[in-house]
């Protein structure tokens, strides 16, 4: 199925989880926030939150610096 992550189309297996979708774009395990269709998804729910065709994800990573 096709979903959109940060404005780009991605193919994922049917009923893929948020966790799997995030793994497509980053290997970071900390400092990440995810919204699905505009709704924040808590990290504790990533593995159990299933995606549907057409879902739009925004994946944000914290950047440190000055």
Tens-place pLDDT, residues 5-24: 999 999 999 989 999 999 99
Name the phi and psi angles at 10, rounded to 5: -140, 145
pLDDT band at 66; cut points 50, 70, 90: low
CA 9 to chain centre: 12
Q: Give the structural domain span for 29.
A: 2-61
- Residue 65 reports pLDDT greater than 90: no
Beta-strand ranges (E) seen in the chain are: 2-5, 8-11, 32-36, 39-41, 56-61
User: Does some domain include residue 45?
Assistant: yes
User: Does some domain include residue 66?
Assistant: no
The number of distinct structural domains making up the chain is: 1
Q: How far apart are CA 64 and CA 23, in angstroms?
A: 21
For residue 18, give the CATH number of its domain. 3.10.20.30
Name the phi and psi angles at 35, rounded to 5: -120, 135
């Amino acid at each position: 199925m096709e979903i959109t992550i940060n404005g780009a189309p991605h193919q994922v297996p049917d009923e893929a989880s948020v966790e799997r979708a995030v793994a497509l774009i980053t290997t970071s395990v900390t400092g990440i926030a995810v919204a699905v269709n505009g709704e924040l998804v808590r990290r504790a729910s990533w593995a159990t939150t299933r995606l549907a065709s057409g879902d739009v994800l925004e994946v944000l990573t914290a950047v440190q610096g000055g």
